[in-house]
Structure 1
Amino acid sequence: MKKFRKVLDGLSSSSPGGVASPSCGSAAGTPTAHAPTPQDIHVQETLVSENFQICKTVRHGFPYQPTCLAFDPVQKILAIGSRTGGIRILGRPGVDCYSQHESGAAVLQLQFLINEGALVTACADDTLHLWNLRQRRPAILHSLKFNRERITFCHLPFQSKWLYVGTERGNTHIVNIESFVLSGYVIMWNKAIELATKAHPGPVVHLSDSPKDEGKLLIGFESGTVVQWDLRAKKVDFRIYYDEAIHSVSWHHEGKQFMCSHSDGSLTMWNLRNTARPIQITYPHGKILKDGRKESCKPILKVEYKTSRNSEPYVIFSGGLSYDKSGGRRPTLTIMHGKAITVLEMDHPIVEFLVLCDTPYSNEVQDPYAVVVLLEKDFIVVDLTQSNFPIFENPYPMDIHESPVTCTAYFAECPPDIIPILYSIGAKQKKTGYSHKEWPVSGGTWTLGSQTYPEIIVTGHADGTVKFWDASAITLQMLYKLKTSKVFEKPKAGDGRAGELVEEDPYAVQMVSWCPHSRLFCVVGISSHVILYRFSKHDANTQIVSLEVRLQFDSEDVISPSEAENNPCFSDPSSPQPPGSPGSGTQDSLPCLKVKSRPVRMPPGYQAEMVVQLQWVDGEPPQQITSLDINSAYGLLAFGNCNGLTVVDFLQKTILMCMGTLDLYGAADPYQRLTRSPRKNRQSTSGLTELSDNQVSMDMERSKSPTSGNATHTHTHTHTHTHTHTHTHTHTHTLTLQDYHVNGHCTSPTSQPCSVGKPRITGVPEGPRLTRRGPGRPPFRKAQSAACMEISLPVSSHTEESRENSFSRSRSSSVSSIDRDTKESVTTLQFGESYGRKGDALPTACLWVGTSLGVVLLLPISIPTEEEERMEEPITMGPSGTVLMLKGSVLRFAFLDCGGALIQSPYEVWRDPNGPEDPDRTRRRKLINFSPSSSQEACGDGHLAVVCSEKQAKVILMPTQAVLFTHNITESSFLLRADVVSVCNSVCLACFCANGHIMTLRYTVGLSHPNHDSGH
């Protein structure tokens, strides 16, 4: 078990008094008089280390690599063993328990002590374990190790104190189940067979007591020999020899006959009155060929022979298909009932099956009512009481990985009505054909704890499905299933580029964003598409709006200052279009998938409203989306990748902004990025051989970005000038910007690598455009290269802060380590009420942007307040010049008021978009706003921003942008996930580290507490 760090009791202050970061940029203006100072912040800390401990709860999903199965017919509980030593005990829905053998040895067989709350396990390390199930957590009471023989089969008769254990050598040992020690009674193989027989009969493959006499033990050997041993007289009653190997044996309840299954696909029936030959030999799936030979069949691995009061006996077995028929067929379970033979095909290989009967006594009529079938990757129960043998609907969350899980999201304290609504809608989706009877595994009891609250887990899958699970109780219960692939046309051969981008699973879900209050749901797919869903209780015919975005910022040559000043940012639509543009008639500027253009009838539940797709550019597929956020109150959706950021107004169905990552900095780029050409600058470049965190270049000057010419403007009216080529499904022509992007190197695990581009076609018609550098070239060159890009940090008197800001795992001390073709990705996004600049007096709508280089950017948003204006007037947003710095890729944002309480993002109260019109109620949007000024009064306006990267966490006071606390979370590793969560009426930062540590940090203001680390 990996380490678990309990509580890191404070965020170490990086500078006394909380000095504003020198890397922070701001617009002109002075802080408001009501802005709090660090001395005004008083957070009442209540969390201590004892509030946190690691605790095993439950394992969800299908058991990994199952091996065996057992059932208690009285208590009606089920046990499943696995190859990794795990035991899963299942009862009625909600009863689910997992235990693990410390040795990790595979569980070969399970035997319940029927109606006694105990279980015997036989493991691959030849050890028997007796488990006590009558306690909260099952535990091993006794263990018995076989040192000289390997265990092959076990049998425990009902209400018996003797456990019979067969071995590989053919011997049978007897264990006292109460003391769990060997009794000393051993049935040796050479005494079980005739003395004249010299051949070894093979391992013991079957043990069972006679239904007519519990003092008689039937022993089956692999070679085909069956022996009935008299336990009292210690002698053999009879011996049976058969040419084919035996796999299993099953008694008739009267104890006069038994049936064997064999390796040649045959079933033999034996009568105890005449054991010289079988009274019946059948090949259920084999035929007699024309030449008189029998058709070769696969082995029948197990057979169950069960009698019924009101009908003929059931013969149920697995395997036995002819080799010719089984070539293209799936694994089967065969049910023979009288003359009727039913073959049930399975999706996965059968591990084991059990027939459930009304009685635990083997000498009574069995009356089977169900068959439990354990498959390699599934678990089903067949109803035997109906002639068509339907299956029961499985109440356990066994199908979590029905399609591989590609992303997960957890939501706590959801609105109390959301779970019943999702369940009622999801219940209508269920397949027909299930058995109407109650689930037969109905044992055990469970109760809800006193601290329950609505919890939902959302899983995205490789086939494009999304599942909502109720996680409020012990076990997961699926509430609702959404198929995102229904939004798109089925791809045809040679149509589109989805096959070129993703050969399999083009609809795989990469991330989700869900607002439980407004019930807006957003899905990001692997084909660089974003789908927006709204929830409705009514079905509707909907026209899905399709928007396409050209977010590919590559350059032939990095722009020089003179070129940036002389060339406009937007191309003239009348000028000749370069290859790959819509005007060229090529297959570029197309998305990977095709959205359905006709109105689609959508059932109640989540209904697709809009699809945004990234386009192919210059023969290159769009880069995968790395970040996503949605806000129902603002009506905005934002997503980013390694090329830049896109913001969508989903109320007006328009692309609000599409900018490259470098453009987001405006004039506040903390890195000095400039180009050198040997023809223009022949200075010695020997000083470029090393770039370290301790050395900051003093003589570099900033290269102007395309937006640097008007960097003094605080807002960019991107509604009218969008840095992209966009169009809806009506394909209206808009401006196309030939954007550039300066590549930067990032190795953060949260950043996805960008594919290397293909060389551009030469001979591009001249016109207003930006000079481009081939995307196939590396973004940084060594000193002797034709072009060299340098990165340095802004010169500051705060040496320690500069050294801290210079750190990133994406920037190394050697030039060669940054000589790679990757880019600065947008790794996290967060909408909220905040202060875009130091001089802001009131909070406004903002978009916080985090990148893979540890940069935090703030984009203020101007949104019309009146609803009529909101639907018609444009929204303005753009870079504010505020830039904050952290070590490593930015993972998470959170906002606290000055009292330490978590500030939620504003949201719109849900209303049914397809509901009937109510003349007494207005259809206006109802917005709930949690602005910092409304959540506090003691310290005036302002709030705390918590920013966490994969290396570091900072608490920043807004709007002054003073860094109150900085904590270096890890030096030797990096964080994979982080989030600010509420615990015990307080908040903490929970982190999951790549080295297996789980850490929690609290926000102690003014104090620095030592870190705590638990043992292994």
Structure 2
Amino acid sequence: MQLAVGRDNCHYGFACCPAPVSVRRSARRVMDKAGRKIRAAFEGLQNLWNNNQQIDLQSVETLTPEDFAVSEITCHGFPYQPTCLAYDPVQKLIAIGTQCGAIRILGQPGVNVSIRHPNKSSVIQLQFVFNEGAVISLCSDCCIHMWNIRLKRPEIVHSLRFTREKLTLMYLPFQSSWLYLGTEKGNVHVVSIETFTLSGYVIHWNKAIDMSQKHHPGTVVHLSECPSDDSKLLIGYECGTLVLWDLKDKSVDSRYQCMQRLRSACWHCEGKQFMCALSNGSLMTWTMKKTAEPTDLVIPLSKLDCKSFNSAGAGNSKQAETETAGSQQRVQAASSKQLFYRPIDKVDWCTQRGSEDLVLFSGGTPFLNSERPPCITIMRGKSVSVLEMEHPVITFITLWDTPYITEEQDCSAVAVLLQNDLVAIDLKSEGCLCFENPYSMNIHDSPVTCCTYLSDCPIDLIRALYAIGSKQKKRGYTSKNWPLTGGVWSSSPSSDPELVITGHSDGSVKFWDFSSVSLQILYRLRTAKFFEIDESCVRTDLNLFSITHILLCAASRYLAVSGMAGHIVLFKFNRQESSAEVPILQIQAFGSPLYHHVSPEKSPANPSNSAKTPPCCPSNASANFSSLDSDSCSSLAKPVSYYPVKMKSGPTKRACGYQTDVICLNAWPSLSLPEAISAMALNSAYGLFAYGTDQGLVVVDILQKCCITVLETAELYGTGDATSLRSPKSGGSASLNEKIASFDISDSRQSSEKQDSTTAFTRSNTASSENAQHSSNKAYVKMSSKSMSLAGGKPPKPSPRERTKCSSDRESLDSPDMGFEEGVCYLEFIENSSRIEQLNGVNLWVGTTYGTVIPVNIKLPEQEQRLDSPVQVTIPGITLTKQCGFILSIGFLDSQCNMLLPPVKFFKELDQENSLAKNRVLRRANTLVTSVDVEGLQSTKSDTLDFSSSSSSSGMEKKEYNVAEQYIVICAERSSRVLSLSNLSTTLFNFKYDFPFVQASVVTFNAKPIIAGCFSNGRIGAYSIPSLRPLIDVPFFPPNLHCLETVKFGHQGTGVYMCSPTELLKFAISAHFVQDSKDALGSLYLPCVMPQPPKTNFFKELFNISSRNTVDRKELFGESCGKPLKNVAQRIPMQTLSAEVSQKKVNTTNEVAKARLALHERGEKLSEVEDRTAALLDSTKSYADHMHEIMLKQKNKKWYQL
């Protein structure tokens, strides 16, 4: 018998006699059937294993879309691009309008409510309805809206749109229900604020001006009622014409003509005089009786020394006084025609009890050659005080105590709205000191460049920062309390302490307490004071001290900060002052360092003898990092690194708080191209710090204060054709004869064979720890593979950067653009347990811009030798490709799909390390993060194990298959994947997004891990883990890349982002948190008793009879004046109820209907019961009668007759 091979299948036949065709066909069918059974059996076993895993993973998911809802919690910071200011003297509230349609209402410290118009039109003016809990806003789209601020979240209750004329101004008299509206055409309309309907009463411009006036008066710029006669309305036009209009007679009472354009006007409290602010920097005073010429004309800043405007910079409070009389000022105004002055934008004439009248105005400074800071001027009698401001003045308003304009105003403070700040000035203090602003208005003192959010910060860290930061309080403020006392604030719905850290362009880092609804500054750290810019720096357009990344380990209080110049500062918290020198690590440029130009004739004969500069070498603080040695200028082709910043020389006194521990200076790849830091990771338990750039990875030992390894991105792959990976001293190249184990995750799910050789990079063993820390000429390379050898006389191979350009097997399959070089974009320390031997132990997971995830093994020495022995870094050669875009976040899960966190070492343990007398126990157990026992993570001691036992060489030995299962969650720009660390070739779950992620994080929500992120189109999304099931996907963020890049997600469904360059907004994606936050906002409106009106003087009342006449506005502006013209204004349909309120209304209606139905049914049942009760009563009565008859019948019978 021999084997006969057919065309498609194999069968058995006889050589002497060929089998019939039918036999061969039957044999084929049998073999096909058997093959199918075998394949089905294998596929069934594989599917059974995968399904069991998926069932186990999906069984732990308890989150549903009903648990998620997106809402804004509170907004902090200064309102971006402010436009107007309003004040309620009864409720003690202030409102600020902005160009983007937002309104910020402020009260006592902690009362901070932000609302926004639906169409985001610019707010022109705001007006409080005094003590009524309402605010009226005038917008640039010719709409007026009334907001109800009695609600915790104010809403619009009325809206009116003007279609024919553009509104420029509004005025609401005290205790009046009629609103005056000035238009661009010069007309004045009247609107009822009760019904928000237009009145038929109109003041036309052609009836207000004089008949002899030939030109249009211009826009209405001022409206106000006379304090002594509320039937007289003062109308100011842009051209300088002022008209006192009689509302009853509908005629002009008097006219006043200014020679310059009118900017503002105000009444004296007696109602006999008013003052005008003009465009030429002058103030003009008029009386009601004398209309031909003003009683006073003055240029208030003409007598001041012009040098006073130039001698002080912005931000200083400077006063200048003059003792000239009013006549002398008028003469000066006439004789100073050669000088020109800026317009006076606003003027206010107020009084103070027991003092002279005050005149406050903004502007009016002379035009000089040099730039002057903006100012607010206070005129008190003959003295003039000029208060210089840091930013341009938008407007100001005096904070008076009574709403009655006829009463003498005891003005004690003035609120000044600047372009980037809100200032309150104490007018009764000597020198006009400022109040200390209790709101977080100084977030943008220097532009915010990055931020970090910790939703579960330890409370002891916040207390320590507050204790240190309280010593940094500024001086020069008045001792009085903040003048705004309105509203009531409540506590935060979150019980966890929250911390926000912001980095700024000037190199400063600010710590903010976000635990309550208010944002409070805790501590400020300045990093620019440690450095100075090198004179040879050519990039003067860059702010080299600008903060790019912030990383905080809350448990150990380590802080890492990176700057624009490629420098990184590692801080360590210390309660005591110190003056020790700071160790500095210089890292050479990746791949292509700067070279001096060397001619071929002067090139050395033996290039191998030329010294190589180590890429990382410890240096003293006094070293000059940018200057070149004289030997480096020789003819040798010697690599030179360029450092644009250098450390200030000499020991510096470091104040208590965050003190510099290690400084890393990264060389620029060219004179004009910065070395950008793209990712950072720190672990206090391991004592390691790693950061990535656009070109590679650097690992630093923060305990030994030395650099462990410097690797380019291409060197992380460990492919067979790569030269020896660069080390701090290796100048040549080494070859690999055997391929390093590599897992290629492809659609065919095939994996390459594991090789025994691995490449280890470590510093060589040293004799003592002192030599290990200070020697810069040591050998840093240790090859553990038997086949590795140095290429002695062979020519150098192409650099890893050149290999990256020509290599195609490592490129991401979904990356749309591969023109840029691959860099590191995410780093994470973790301790893993897996069936794959190379992944057991401590790993540093590296995510690249090509969508590749690469683990790097970390091998720590024994605990007793931690400060003496080097740390080994090994590349196992495992790569996870096929991601879509940049790697944004990586998370790890245990077998129960609970989130794993790396071990940490706490601050108290770090304090004990300074004595070096006790051996510490490092935390190595992966910790389960739950919302119930977060603090138990810090206090549990049972999980503390000896780290050296797992980090030794025995940890890399072959293990059994009973290790605890772990999973990895990889979140990239366009997709997310969940894989098992024991089977990296199989993707358990995969989900691709329609729009790319801008920011994404793996966080916990109700003790379950989720992926939360924001898309490029402004939508916010959350996905369950491990099934990657969508939980929420709604539009929330503005489609602005600058805002989306600042989004930070925290645990338990909260997050923050910079909604504008000056504002920080806190939001929540938790439905429970959103519901609880409504009660935590407090209230803006408090029921207050209206102040008593001022008592009238008998003699004034006797001789000023007209003041007693009051006008009935309802009769004037009501139906008696006729109907308004059509299409002048139309009321916007009622759309003020939000979806939530509408839903509540629908639910209430349904509940009422159900209650009525139940009541009706109950009535019918009661009727039935009543009928049955009546029938039972009748039956009982008949039964009683029947028994009575039987009793009477049997009553006289004897016993024997029965």
Q: Shorter-chain TM-score category? A: 0.7 to 0.9
Distance 1:291 1:355 in 2: 33
Aligned twin of 1:411: 454
* 1:270 aligns with one of 258, 279, 286: 286
Task: Report matched runs for 1:275-294 at 5 Å.
Answer: 275-286=291-302, 288=332, 293=337
Q: Are 1:158 and 1:360, in contact at CA under 8 Å, matched by a contact in 2? A: yes
* 2:363 aligns with one of 310, 316, 319: 319
Q: Are 2:1024 and 2:1031, in contact at CA under 8 Å, matched by a contact in 1? A: no
Helix, strand or coil at the partner of 1:368: coil
Q: Are 2:575 and 2:656, in contact at CA under 8 Å, matched by a contact in 1? A: yes
- Whether 1:358 and 2:384 are equivalent positions in the alignment is no
Aligned twin of 2:848: 851
Aligned twin of 2:1006: 984
Aligned twin of 1:632: 684
Distance 2:570 2:205 in 1: 70
- Whether 1:949 and 2:972 are equivalent positions in the alignment is yes
Which consecutive residues of structure 1, in runs of 5 or more, have no partner in the other structure? 1-14, 21-35, 557-569, 674-692, 703-707, 738-765, 781-788, 794-804, 812-817
Coordinate RMSD, CA, aligned: 3.9
- Whether 1:903 and 2:900 are equivalent positions in the alignment is yes
Distance 2:275 2:850 in 1: 71
Q: Between 888-897 and 314-323, report the one with greater CA deviation.
A: 888-897
- Whether 1:239 and 2:255 are equivalent positions in the alignment is yes
- Whether 1:584 and 2:632 are equivalent positions in the alignment is yes
Cα distance change on mapping 1:357 and 1:957 into 2, 3 Å: same
Helix, strand or coil at the partner of 2:883: coil
Cα distance change on mapping 1:427 and 1:574 into 2, 3 Å: closer
Aligned twin of 2:891: 894
Q: Are 1:171 and 1:189, in contact at CA under 8 Å, matched by a contact in 2? A: yes
The Cα offsets for residues 956-1003 of structure 1, whole Å up to 9 and x where unpaired, read as 223454645231322x43222221111122111112222333221212
* 1:973 aligns with one of 985, 995, 998: 995
Aligned twin of 2:417: 374
* 1:809 aligns with one of 809, 815, 818: 815
The Cα offsets for residues 421-464 of structure 1, whole Å up to 9 and x where unpaired, read as 21222222122112222122221112124433211111111111
Helix, strand or coil at the partner of 2:472: coil
- Whether 1:770 and 2:796 are equivalent positions in the alignment is yes
Cα distance change on mapping 1:618 and 1:347 into 2, 3 Å: closer
Q: Are 2:135 and 2:146, in contact at CA under 8 Å, matched by a contact in 1? A: yes
Helix, strand or coil at the partner of 1:425: helix
Aligned twin of 2:827: 829
Which consecutive residues of structure 2, in runs of 5 or more, have no partner in the other structure? 1-45, 304-331, 595-606, 616-625, 726-744, 782-791, 929-941, 945-960, 1037-1202
Larger RCO, structure (CA 8 Å, separation 6 or more)? 1
Q: Flag the structure with higher helix content.
A: 2
Helix, strand or coil at the partner of 2:1009: strand
* 2:72 aligns with one of 56, 63, 68: 56
Cα distance change on mapping 1:648 and 1:768 into 2, 3 Å: farther
Distance 2:912 2:379 in 1: 53
Aligned twin of 1:445: 488
The Cα offsets for residues 592-636 of structure 1, whole Å up to 9 and x where unpaired, read as 211123211122211111100112457575521111101111111
Aligned twin of 2:33: none
Q: Are 1:43 and 1:900, in contact at CA under 8 Å, matched by a contact in 2? A: no
Distance 1:435 1:420 in 2: 26
Q: In the TM superposition, what is the alpha-carbon distance from 1:236 to its structure 2 partner?
A: 2.8
Q: In the TM superposition, what is the alpha-carbon distance from 1:340 to its structure 2 partner?
A: 2.5
Aligned twin of 1:607: 659
Q: Are 2:589 and 2:641, in contact at CA under 8 Å, matched by a contact in 1? A: no
Task: Report matched runs for 1:676-715 at 5 Å.
Answer: 712-713=757-758, 715=760
Aligned twin of 1:884: 880
Cα distance change on mapping 1:645 and 1:69 into 2, 3 Å: same
Distance 1:254 1:926 in 2: 80
Distance 2:70 2:852 in 1: 33
The Cα offsets for residues 805-831 of structure 1, whole Å up to 9 and x where unpaired, read as 9523156xxxxxx5x4x3221111101
Q: In the TM superposition, what is the alpha-carbon distance from 1:713 to its structure 2 partner?
A: 3.4
Aligned twin of 1:838: 836
The Cα offsets for residues 748-807 of structure 1, whole Å up to 9 and x where unpaired, read as xxxxxxxxxxxxxxxxxx9887345798x9964xxxxxxxx24136xxxxxxxxxxx952
- Whether 1:537 and 2:564 are equivalent positions in the alignment is no
Q: Are 1:314 and 1:338, in contact at CA under 8 Å, matched by a contact in 2? A: yes
Q: Are 1:257 and 1:269, in contact at CA under 8 Å, matched by a contact in 2? A: yes
Q: In the TM superposition, what is the alpha-carbon distance from 1:402 to its structure 2 partner?
A: 2.2
Aligned twin of 1:435: 478
* 2:925 aligns with one of 930, 934, 945: 930
The Cα offsets for residues 719-760 of structure 1, whole Å up to 9 and x where unpaired, read as 569xxxx999x89456799xxxxxxxxxxxxxxxxxxxxxxx
Q: In the TM superposition, what is the alpha-carbon distance from 1:214 to its structure 2 partner?
A: 2.0
- Whether 1:169 and 2:185 are equivalent positions in the alignment is yes
The Cα offsets for residues 327-371 of structure 1, whole Å up to 9 and x where unpaired, read as 410222111223332222223221111111122211111121222
Cα distance change on mapping 1:533 and 1:838 into 2, 3 Å: same
Q: In the TM superposition, what is the alpha-carbon distance from 1:855 to its structure 2 partner?
A: 1.8
- Whether 1:550 and 2:604 are equivalent positions in the alignment is no
Q: Between 74-83 and 376-385, report the one with greater CA deviation.
A: 376-385
Q: Are 1:350 and 1:376, in contact at CA under 8 Å, matched by a contact in 2? A: yes
Cα distance change on mapping 1:617 and 1:548 into 2, 3 Å: same
Q: In the TM superposition, what is the alpha-carbon distance from 1:42 to its structure 2 partner?
A: 7.1
Aligned twin of 2:354: 310
Cα distance change on mapping 1:587 and 1:311 into 2, 3 Å: farther
Q: Are 1:644 and 1:661, in contact at CA under 8 Å, matched by a contact in 2? A: yes
Distance 1:311 1:619 in 2: 65
Q: In the TM superposition, what is the alpha-carbon distance from 1:506 to its structure 2 partner?
A: 0.6
Helix, strand or coil at the partner of 1:436: coil
Cα distance change on mapping 1:572 and 1:982 into 2, 3 Å: farther
Q: In the TM superposition, what is the alpha-carbon distance from 1:38 to its structure 2 partner?
A: 7.1
* 2:82 aligns with one of 66, 69, 73: 66
Distance 2:212 2:613 in 1: 99
Aligned twin of 2:146: 130
Aligned twin of 2:514: 471
* 1:98 aligns with one of 110, 114, 125: 114
Cα distance change on mapping 1:609 and 1:625 into 2, 3 Å: same
Q: Are 1:251 and 1:257, in contact at CA under 8 Å, matched by a contact in 2? A: yes
Distance 2:152 2:795 in 1: 71
Aligned twin of 2:1055: none
Q: Are 2:513 and 2:521, in contact at CA under 8 Å, matched by a contact in 1? A: yes
Q: Are 1:296 and 1:322, in contact at CA under 8 Å, matched by a contact in 2? A: yes
Aligned twin of 1:747: none
- Whether 1:1003 and 2:1003 are equivalent positions in the alignment is no
Helix, strand or coil at the partner of 1:321: coil
Q: In the TM superposition, what is the alpha-carbon distance from 1:1009 to its structure 2 partner?
A: 5.7
Aligned twin of 2:867: 871
- Whether 1:507 and 2:555 are equivalent positions in the alignment is no
Helix, strand or coil at the partner of 2:715: helix
The Cα offsets for residues 856-888 of structure 1, whole Å up to 9 and x where unpaired, read as 22122121342x421112111210222222313
Aligned twin of 1:743: none
Helix, strand or coil at the partner of 2:867: helix
Q: In the TM superposition, what is the alpha-carbon distance from 1:496 to its structure 2 partner?
A: 4.7
Task: Report matched runs for 1:60-209 at 5 Å.
Answer: 60-209=76-225
Q: In the TM superposition, what is the alpha-carbon distance from 1:924 to its structure 2 partner?
A: 5.4
Q: In the TM superposition, what is the alpha-carbon distance from 1:292 to its structure 2 partner?
A: 6.4
Q: Which amino acid aligns with 2:558?
A: L
Cα distance change on mapping 1:646 and 1:310 into 2, 3 Å: same
* 2:761 aligns with one of 716, 719, 729: 716
The Cα offsets for residues 87-107 of structure 1, whole Å up to 9 and x where unpaired, read as 121222222222222232221
Distance 1:416 1:44 in 2: 31
Cα distance change on mapping 1:846 and 1:902 into 2, 3 Å: same
Distance 2:580 2:639 in 1: 28
Cα distance change on mapping 1:455 and 1:388 into 2, 3 Å: same
Aligned twin of 1:4: none
- Whether 1:661 and 2:706 are equivalent positions in the alignment is no
Helix, strand or coil at the partner of 1:243: coil
Aligned twin of 2:784: none
- Whether 1:860 and 2:876 are equivalent positions in the alignment is no
Helix, strand or coil at the partner of 1:885: coil
